[in-house]
Amino acid sequence: MKSAVIVFPASNCDRDAKTALTQMTGKAPAMVWHQDKELPDVDLVVLPGGFSYGDYLRCGAMANQSGIMGAIKAHADKGGAVLGICNGFQVLTESHLLPGALMRNAGLKFVCKPVELTVEESQSAFTRGYEKGQTVTFPVAHGEGNYVADEATLDRLEGEGRVVFRYQANPNGSARDIAGILSEKRNVLGLMPHPERVVDPATGGTDGRALFKSLIETLS
């Protein structure tokens, strides 16, 4: 599986994503600067966590104007896999590659801790390594992780099996405890928790390994 990680100004999880992908695939991903106009020939594009452009305006809004976004949208339109983690999820909603929006946490405080999630959908390229209903623990680190959408959109996400992860104890007020969703084509995943931080037991766990293994098996 060939992969790329997008580097925005103030990304701070791009290296985490690079380390996880290198460890899981045995080869380093391409690190693509946000103002590049083209992607290399890759199967997976990762939009990492962090604070792109300092989270000015709305989180992810300025990153959506970056030169690389046109190539990412074209990659997704062709069925290419895109994974947006934390700030990357915010960018995906701003670009309308995923529906809804990420708002300020209900408690108005930055949340940084491990959280337990329920795997709601195991029939996707991202989650085939998990069992439906399985509990996994990923860390979160965000101030704007409160997922919101209108009721019709939420019902459609639920009905189409596009809610992939759900919080067991909601840390941010997210609608219906949603932690991660798929696009209509099921090739774009956005989630607020960080699977790339739980790939190596030395960093606190390995529950994220199955996500990357699922992608490797599907895309290789």
* Residues with catalytic roles: 86, 194, 196
Pairing of strands 188-191, 81-85: parallel
| Max Cα distance, the chain (Å) | 43
Closest alpha carbon to 140 in 208, 189, 94, 188: 208
179-204 burial code (b ≥16 CB/10 A, e <16): bbbbbeebbbbbbbbbbbbbbbeeee
